[in-house]
Amino acid sequence: MALETGDPAPDFALPGAGGETIRLADLKGHKVVLYFYPKDDTSGCTLEAQGFNALLDAFTAANAKVIGVSPDSVKSHDKFRAKYGLTFPLASDEAKAMLEAYGVWVEKSMYGRKYMGVERTTMLLDREGRIGRIWPKVKVPGHADEVLQAARDLA
């Protein structure tokens, strides 16, 4: 069943870059931008991460926490963060349980070959942990700006 606006966000606790554990329960009282991306250090994912990182002060001013989530390992996240100077948390879901709970681990197709992967998606959660907005099949250019405006507008 796909998540919809107004649904409670599925709980999670995932290992993050730098040895931290990222828990939804610890984020109550803040708006949360969960952006799901396929793979560290690929062109689209790097541009998306850089877009959110460049606007991090503005997200903080809007009382919003930004968290990137992919199935890459914590070690991969650590290298990705260091290489591009990313200062927000990256969560690792190698087991894909959280990605499945959020409905972003899907069958994809490239050149006629079907495989499972992350559908680039962003979800904005309100202060109570409910889904305020969903951006499916994200196109990277301008996306971080659009999410920031939505975070500012979300009560």
Catalytic residues: 45
- Of the candidates 9, 43, 1, 16, the residue with the CA atom closest to the CA atom of residue 133: 9
Residue type present at position 9:
A
- Going by their DSSP bridges, the two strands 21-23 and 105-110 should be labelled as unpaired
- Of the candidates 101, 102, 154, 99, the residue with the CA atom closest to the CA atom of residue 128: 154
The gap from C-alpha 111 to its chain's centroid, in whole angstroms, comes to: 27
The gap from C-alpha 62 to its chain's centroid, in whole angstroms, comes to: 17
Name, in order, each residue with C-beta under 8 angstroms of 82's C-beta and a sequence gap of 6 or more.
none
Report H helices in the chain: 43-54, 56-61, 74-84, 97-101, 143-153
